[in-house]
Amino acid sequence: MFISIAYFFQIILLQSVENPTSYQAEKINKLFNYFNIAAACMLLLVCFLVIFICIKFKEKKGDEREPKQTTGNKKIEALMIGIPALLLVWFFYQSLTTMHAVASPVPAGTEPDVIITGHQWWWEVDYPKANVVTANQVHLPVGKHLLMEMRSADVIHDWWVPELGNKMDLVPKINNYLWLDINKPGNYIGACSEFCGAQHAWMRINVIAQNENDFQNWLAQNSKDAVVPTDSVAIKGSEIFETQTCASCHRIQGTTATSNVGPDLTHLASRTELLTGLMKNNEENLYKWISHPQQVKPGAHMPDFKYEKDTVNAIVHYLSLLK
Amino acid sequence: MNQSIQIPEPASPFPGIGVSSDQGLLQWISSVDHKMIGIMYLLIALIFFLIGGAEALLMRIQLGQPVNHFLTPEAYDQIFTMHGTTMIFLVAMPAVLGFSVYFTPLMIGANEMAFPRMNSFSLWITFFGGLLLYFSFLAGGGPDAGWFNYSPLNEKNYSSSNGIDYYAMGLLLTGIGSVTTSINLIVTILHYRVKGMKLNMLPLFVWMVFVNSFLLIAAFPSLNAALAMLLLDRQFQAHFFNTANGGSALLWQHLFWIFGHPEVYIVILPPFGILSEVFPVFSRKPIFGYAFVAASSVAIALLAFGVWAHHMFAVGLGNTVDAFFSASSMLIGIPTGVKVFNWIATMYGGKIKFTVSMMFAIAFLIEFTIGGLSGIAFSIVPIDWQLTDTYYVVAHLHYVFIGGTIFGVLAGLFYWFPKMTGKMLDEKMGKWFFWLFVIGFNGTFLVQHALGMLGMPRRVFTYPDLPGYAILNLISTMGAFLMGLSVLLLVYIVYKSIKNGKAAGNDPWNGFTLEWLTTSPPPLKNFDEVPEVKSRWPLWDLKQLKEESRK
């Protein structure tokens, strides 16, 4: 009994925590509320029956008689089958309508607004209509009917931002689609939800939902080439970046670095976090990361290069200018 | 009435067993006696339960606080993979098979399993499969892609140690053991029943074992095929699941879950059977709705093969496919609910004895209902889209596996221990164990529902310090340690009771079924004679008869 009360309390408490901020999330939340009410009634019924029967029919001392031997009752069985069956039919209907509202089929030839590609362990973000590529922090406009395309570059990942609704797997060789109508500007966090290897835990999602104007400004800023370094340390950094191994994995728009094995760094300095949510984006953390990637994020695909201090400093300085 | 009939084999001990002369360990290893094999299955389950439990505690220490560095991510991945694999294949399976091979012959009045040597083979191949699985740690690292081991993460280019090869080979071996045991059980039940025991008079435990064996035989080929394909991929560069070379990532998921979901029912049906024995005996009433309880098991077994893709609602199969599997998964709720309500109705109007066995059975009703209801949540596709692969799933599956399977097995342990050893399992300490275990279990997993709804994905080796995460995880860790403590207490209770427990006598619970007719523990040849069976409660009939003749 105590357990069931704790269970309901928890669910009621969570209703205030769960905060759907998209059309899709609201639809699902509504259905989940119906379900919780039905489940709560069912659980209470079972708890009540069990406790009532346990108290009422406890063996009494000295009572040697055997109880009345009953073996069944067809009417009661019919109720046991009928009531749950009716409930389930109703939920199946609700489930179908919600599914259709949340995940309506994608008309052939529709171009997605955003393409998310999962990598071990970061998110590549493409805006094909605006020719912008970025990583990890996903800027999205509020009030639009967005179509997101989900791809994977290696293993199966999963896109999930609880406040924005349903999750979707990113499966290699298959393109999946997700509709999203965000209601409110804000910063929404999520995480990769399909186990994808050593750093699955640090494949967090950060969605920055902006008003249309802010979003267009952001797009315009991010479609530009990277800042060209002017001071000598930064120039040294950029040379190391382009001539040594960095450029074989990363992309900086406007330079010779064009690979997408690692995250795009064109406007790295305008992002607030490093390594998909592992730490804040500042020079100190960037220094730590470039010096010893395998200590900071063990298993990540960036090897320990064992650079000299000066070399790392130059690279960090260069990258921190890329606003 | 008391007409005796010829009992099937064996009349003399099988080669290799020296029952009268104690040959120690050799006697156990060489045994083909279904009772010794049953006990060895249970011991294997207990040993691996301690190992899998220790792995769980390591995980809970790591997750006790945010951004913890107790375990490396690589170590954590191996440990959670082995925890899941161990608990399913080396704890739940041996535990239910142990009770199955021990009590099936006894409850149908037979003296042995149909194929005693194959019985022994099944046990040892299962055990060696388990050893092979654990040998991976000595051979460069355990498997690290989760117990359901999704491709292409399970391929050589993403998991380069040999762990997953050992996983595939180990599970192939334990799978062979499970299938041969099932064949053995089916033949035993069909052919060695005592005279008069029609199939519709089978004790419900035996009925569930019977249905379960068919389920098992039908489910395992899919897993075995997938494991063989995976081995070909990893050892000989075949491309079944390797997406980089044109393989399919989803093929593995289909093959695995066509096995994997029936597997969930494979480890719950025999515990359902145990409860269907325990409730009547301790309520002093026959089971309510025998036919419905029996038929609902068949319904579950059949539906089990049409629900696998509810594990895959988030992979983008499309609304039509999702809707089909949603409907079939919801349907499973009906026969399961029928069982729960029939057990409750069995208690109604009875005379309930609160033994530890009965307490676990009653607690099962509530815990399993929680697990069942959260299961219904996952059959409603949009809710699944939100909650799948989160801690809500972790909570759900533990309420089903522990609140269901393990509670059932523990009810069975306290119920049948007197028969297996001749000693009572200490009831007073048993009640302590019960409360510690129930509180620990709910403390660990109840809060995980909340963690899932707050957005914590499963299988993460750590998590950022988001609101609520730290405290809920800490509660869960403390609950886990309480559970760990209670399991150690159980081991102590078992040890103490075997050493100097109260003598049980043949029939301590005033039972209804034939296993209570023979001595405790039963002799090598279970029965010298069994009276012809006239009803579903043969021992009850016999007692009534004695009573009448005394009058």
- pLDDT tens across B319-336, in order? 999 999 999 999 999 999
Q: Above 60 in pLDDT, residue B506?
A: yes
User: Are A92 and A160 part of one and the same domain?
Assistant: no
Is a pLDDT exceeding 90 seen at residue B245? no
Instruction: Report the percentage of chain B scoring pLDDT > 70.
Output: 96
pLDDT, mean of residues B249-271: 95
User: pLDDT value at position B190?
Assistant: 94
A121 & A160 share domain: yes
- In a domain, residue A72? The reply is no
Given A47, A72, A102, the domain boundary residue is A102
The amino acid that residue B239 corresponds to is H
Residue with tokens 């408490």: A13
Is the per-residue pLDDT at B523 higher than 70?
Answer: yes
pLDDT at A222: 93
The least confident of A37-41, B251-255, B283-287 is A37-41
Looking at B427-468, list the stretches that DSSP marks H as alpha helix, in order from N- to C-terminal side: 427-453
- Whether residue B268 is predicted with pLDDT greater than 50 in this model: the reply is yes
- The answer as to whether B202 is a domain residue is yes
pLDDT band at B530 (very low <50, low <70, confident <90, very high): confident
pLDDT over 60 (residue B29): yes
Q: Nearest CB to B314: which of A71, A169, A197?
A: A169
Tell if the CB–CB gap between A10 and B446 is shorter than 8 Å.
yes
SS3 state of residue B228: helix
User: CA of A161: which chain B residue's CA is closest?
Assistant: B455
**Which chain A residues contact residue B326 at CB under 8 A?**
92, 95
Beta pairing class for A204-210 and A132-135: unpaired
Partner-chain residue, chosen from B330, B373, B450, that has the shortest CB–CB distance to A42: B373
Q: Can you list the residues of chain A whose pLDDT is less than 50?
A: 16
Total count of residues recorded for chain B: 551
Report the complex ipTM. Answer: 0.93
In a domain, A132, yes or no: yes
pLDDT digits (tens, 9 = 90+) for B359-404: 999 999 999 999 999 999 999 999 999 999 999 999 999 999 999 9
* Nearest to B172, CA basis, from B101, B252, B230, B120: B230
The residue-averaged pLDDT of B521-529 equals: 86
A77 occurs within a structural domain? no
- Among A7-16, B456-465, B528-537, which is the least confidently predicted range? A7-16
Match 């025999």 to its residue by tokens.
B270
Does the residue B18 lie in any domain? no
Whether residues A260 and A309 share a domain: the answer is yes
Cβ contacts of B248 on chain A, cutoff 8 Å: 173
Q: What is the pLDDT of residue A69?
A: 83
Please state, in angstroms and rounded to a whole number, the distance separating the CA atoms of residues B363 and B433.
13
User: Does B381 fall in a domain?
Assistant: yes
Q: Using a CB-CB distance cutoff of 8 angstroms, which residues of chain A are in contact with residue B323?
A: 95-96, 99
What total number of domains does chain A contain? 3
A293 lies in which domain range? 232-319
Query: CATH code at A132?
Result: 2.60.40.420
pLDDT, tens digit (0-9, with 9 covering 90-100), for B398-448? 999 999 999 999 999 999 999 999 999 999 999 999 999 999 999 999 999
Gap between the Cα atoms of A322 and A257, Å rounded = 14
Best residue of B385, B461, B537 to probe chain A, by most A CBs closer than 10 Å: B385
pLDDT band at B13 (very low <50, low <70, confident <90, very high): very low
- Number of helical (H) and strand (E) elements in chain B, helices listed first: 18, 0
Please report residues of A whose CB lies closer than 8 A to that of B462. 201
The set of residues, in sequence order, having a beta carbon less than 8 Å from that of A174 and lying 6+ positions away, is B249, B250, B316
Task: Answer whether residue B140 shows pLDDT above 90.
Answer: no
A147 and A88 within one domain:
no
- Closest alpha carbon within chain B to A278: B464
Q: Which chain A residue has the Cα nearest residue B339?
A: A80
Residues A248 and A294 in one domain: yes
**CA atoms of B9 and B525, how far apart (whole Å):** 9
| pLDDT beyond 90 at B305 | yes
Mean residue pLDDT of chain B comes to 91
Cα–Cα dist A285/B86, whole Å: 40
Q: Which of A160, A188, A206 is where one domain is finished?
A: A206
The sign of the dihedral angle between the CA atoms of A168, A171, A174, A175 is positive
Q: What is the pLDDT of residue B15?
A: 43
In what helix (H) or strand (E) does residue A134 lie, and over which residues does it extend? Answer: strand A132-135
pLDDT at A44: 87
Nearest CA in chain B to A175: B316
Same domain (yes/no): A92, A121: no
If asked whether residues A201 and A118 sit together in one domain, one would say yes
Q: Give the pLDDT score at A8.
A: 60
| pLDDT number for residue A253 | 92
Whether B336 is covered by a domain: the verdict is: yes
Buried b (16+ CB within 10 A) or exposed e, B64-74: bbeeeeebebb
Contact A85 B334 (CB under 8 A): yes
pLDDT (0 to 100) of residue B22 = 60
- pTM for the predicted model, two decimal places: 0.93
> Which among A34, A83, A193 is the top mutation candidate for probing chain B, defined by the most B β-carbons within 10 Å of its own β-carbon?
A193
Residue A5 is predicted with a pLDDT of 61
Highest mean pLDDT among A38-47, B9-18, B48-57: B48-57
Please name the residue of chain B whose CA is at the shortest distance from the CA of residue A103. B319
The number of folded domains in chain B is 1
Is residue B384 in a domain? yes
Phi-psi label, residue B237: left if phi above 0, alpha if psi -120 to 50, beta otherwise: left
Q: What is the pLDDT of residue B30?
A: 80
Other C-beta atoms lying within 10 Å of the C-beta of residue B274: 29
- Asked, for residue A223, whether it belongs to a domain, the answer is no
Domain of B182, in residue numbers? 36-550
Among the residue ranges B4-18, B64-78, B299-313, B506-520, the one predicted with the least confidence is: B4-18
How far away is chain A from the Cα of B450, in angstroms, using its nearest Cα?
7
pLDDT value, residue A286: 93
Domain CATH number, residue B520: 1.20.210.10
pLDDT of amino acid B14:
45
Question: Is the confidence at residue B96, as pLDDT, over 70?
Answer: yes
Burial of residue B524 (CB within 10 Å: 0-12, 13-18, 19+) is middle
Q: Is the sign of the CA dihedral A88, A89, A90, A94 positive or negative?
A: positive
| CB-CB neighbours of A6 under 10 Å | 14
